[in-house]
Structure formats: structure tokens, C-alpha cells
Amino acid sequence: MHSTAIALIQLGAVFFGLGLLGRIAWRIGISPIPLYLIGGLAFGHGGFVPLSGIEEFAHIASEIGVILLLLLLGLEYSAAELMTGLKRSWTAGVLDIVLNAAPGAIVGLLLGWGPVGALAMAGVTYISSSGIIAKVLGDLGRLGNRETPVVLSVLVFEDLAMAVYLPILTAVLAGVSFLGGLSAVGISLAAITIVLLIALKYGRFVSAIVDSPDAEVFLLKLLGSALLVAGIASQLQVSAAVGAFLLGIAISGSTAENATRMLEPLRDLFAAMFFVVFGLNTDPASIPPVLGLAVALAVVTTATKVATGWWAAKRQGIAKLGRARAGAALVARGEFSIVIASLTVASGAVDGRLAALATAYVLLMAILGPVAARIVEPLAKLGAVWGWDHVVGVRVFNHMMAPRRCSPAS
């Protein structure tokens, strides 16, 4: 059979299979990300039926998937909203980094992956999945709840942290010198600052350049500008995904709303391919040896995310039930953890086991996050009946975060 025919058959089977997996996932109320990863594992190296002949297309499609993921994320916020969110949530954001990046960093060091592996694993365990969380909040009818702005402000801070973290990780993975790394980070920070200033003062001009009353022209200009900016950013040692994120911030108003509506199907299509490609490149046999560690990380980082949301909601005067909902909503990890793992593994700078650990971890957290968000209310009400102070974790956390009184001697 002709090679083109084989590639078309394989691609058709992959996309059709992804559609079936997505339908199954939404019917049982979980994110489709774990199923996409499992699908990739099944048909990748060491899988049941390894695919061949679509590697080049799949690689480019997965890159576009990451760019669209970050572009859509940037389109959700204007520069002014980002600055407001940053001012409102920086304390919770800092606590979020400390509590949730530390477990990953510690595991990276214990496994002997060095500072680079620790930096990568810190990002994998730190960043929540805004896509899964947004979907779950909508499905559960909690978008109007009082704790939801707290959850969103933490996610905004994480997005900003990623805009700084990814360029740093990219530079470190590239093995540049200390001065080279500082230069790359400096370029990244300068680019972020310039884009934010442009977006604040001249965002309407950026929107006008991209906008068009014709849907076809609009889509071509939007997608073309995103790929162009991503490529230039990559050439400047800034992550291509971060470049797309910054472009999304610079586009605002009705242009951003139209762009989001038009790009969402494309994002879903290419992002699904991104998860499949990550699974294709991960040997299923490498997962069982790290599964126990992934479970331990899942337990610890579920507790730390719940603690983060609880504390952030408490600072806004929200009752205990709302605090519990805020904490549970933040548990899910997904697309960005895989993006970080993908960048790390592609560089070859870190042990290949990181991909297996990240895959197993995201499989667990992408399932656990929506489940935790659903069951937190009955558990919280049960805790209220039983007495919150009897919940050991709550008692310990409140004790840790309570203001310290000075003893007479001090």
C-alpha cells in the first residue's frame, strides 16, 4: 500500500479513536486527558500496535497544540485583569509555589536527576490544569460561587508564574552558561514587560491588526500571527508557547472573544494530538517502576493544593465549605504538566524516567481532580457534622498557618 494511504489511514484511525475516547470521558464525568495519554501509550513505542509514518505530522501537530493551548489561555485575560489578579492573589500564589513545587523538586533530587530534573519536576507538580478546572466548575454550576474568584486568581498567578518559569526552564535545558541563562531570562522578562505595556496602552491596535469581519481572513491572520510570534519567541530562547500566551494577552475585547470562539475547536483537535504524541513517545513498560512514587506524589500534592485553596479562601472571609471547595477545585493537573515534561524529555538533559513519572502522575491527577471537586461537598458536610477540628489535616494546617504570639520571654 502507498505510504500516503497508510499515513491517512493511521491518522484517520487516531482522530476517530480520540473522538470515541473523548465521548467516553465526558459521559463518565472525567477529563479526556488521561484517556488520550493511554491511547498514545497503546500505540507508541512498546505499545500494542506501534504506529509508523505519521511521526512528522504528529510532532508538528503537537507543537501547534501547545501554542494554541497557551494562546487561548492568554485570550482569557486582558493585561489589566492580569495585573489586578496578581495584586489580589500574590500571597496565595507564593504559598502555592512553596507547597506544590517543593514535593516535585524533592523527588527530582532524591531520584538523582540533579537541579535540572528538580526544576522540571517542581513545575510538573506545581501547575494546576486550568482547562480541567474551568470545565469542572462549569459542570458543577459553581461559576457564580463566592470561592470561584479565589480559585481563578490563583490560576492567574500560576499562568504568570509559567510565563516566567518556562523561559527559565528552556534556557536551563538548553545547557547554556550561567551568563547565557541570565541573558535568556532577561530577554524573556523584557519581552513580557514590553508586551504587557503594549497590551495595557495599545492593545486596541494589536486587536485591530488581527481583526477582520471575514471569518476566513480572521482565522488565517490569527493563526498566522500566533505561529509567527511563537517562532520568533523560540528563536529568542523564549518558549514558543509563552510567545503565544503573550500574544493572547495583547488581544482584547470583542476580538479576543471572537478569537476564542473560533480557535477552541482547533485547540481541542491539536491539543488532543499533543497528549497522544507524548504517550506515543513514552514506553508503557517504564511506568510500573515509578507508579508507587506517582501515587505518593499524588497524595502529597492533593493535600498541598487543598491547603492552598483553603488558605486563599479563608483570607477572603469565605466559610469552611467554600474553602474546601476552593481547595478541591485546584487539585487537577494536566496539560501544562505534560508540556513541561515534554520540553524536558525532548532536550535529553534529564533521565528518561521523568516522562514515565510525569505521565503516571498526570493520569492520576487528571482523574482525581474532578472526582475531588465532586465529592468535596458531601465530605465537607460530613466533616462539619463531625466537627471540623476533628479533621486532623485541617487542625494541623490551621495550627501551622495561625499567627504566632510572642511569649513574654521574647
Q: Which domains does the chain have, with CATH numbers?
A: 1-384 (1.20.1530.20)
pLDDT grade, residue 100 (50/70/90)? very high
Give the CA angle between residues 171, 172, 174 to the nearest 5°.
Answer: 65
Distances (CA, A) of 266 to 8, 60, 269, 343: 19, 14, 5, 22
Distances (CA, A) of 94 to 26, 126, 251, 318: 33, 11, 28, 20
Handedness of CA 116, 118, 123, 124 (dihedral sign): positive
Please say if the pLDDT value at position 407 is more than 50: no
Handedness of CA 164, 167, 169, 172 (dihedral sign): negative
244, 70 contact by CB (below 8 A): yes
Where helices occur in 76-129 by DSSP H, the ranges are 79-110, 114-126
Neighbouring C-alpha atoms within 13 Å toward the C-beta of 283:
8
Neighbouring C-alpha atoms within 13 Å toward the C-beta of 147:
26
pLDDT score of 132? 78
- Assign 373 to helix, strand or coil: helix
Q: Which residue has the higher pLDDT, 102 or 167?
A: 102
pLDDT score of 108? 92
pLDDT score of 106? 95
Please say if the pLDDT value at position 406 is more than 50: no
Q: Which residue has the higher pLDDT, 187 or 261?
A: 261
For the ranges 192-201, 221-230, 324-333, which has the lowest average pLDDT? Answer: 192-201
For the ranges 25-29, 108-112, 293-297, 312-316, which has the lowest average pLDDT? Answer: 25-29
pLDDT score of 173? 79
Please say if the pLDDT value at position 279 is more than 80: no
Pick the most confident of 22-36, 80-94, 354-368: 354-368
pLDDT grade, residue 307 (50/70/90)? very high
Distance CA 133, CA 150 (A): 13
Distance CA 365, CA 355 (A): 15
User: Does the model's pTM come out above 0.85?
Assistant: no
User: What b-and-e string marks burial along 142-161, b requiring 16 or more CB atoms within 10 Å of the CB?
Assistant: beebebbbbbbbbbbbbbbb
pLDDT in tens, 105-152: 999 999 998 888 899 999 999 999 877 787 777 777 777 788 888 887
Pick the most confident of 3-7, 159-163, 269-273, 304-308: 304-308
Q: Which residue has the higher pLDDT, 400 or 69?
A: 69
pLDDT in tens, 234-261: 776 666 777 787 788 888 888 888 898 8
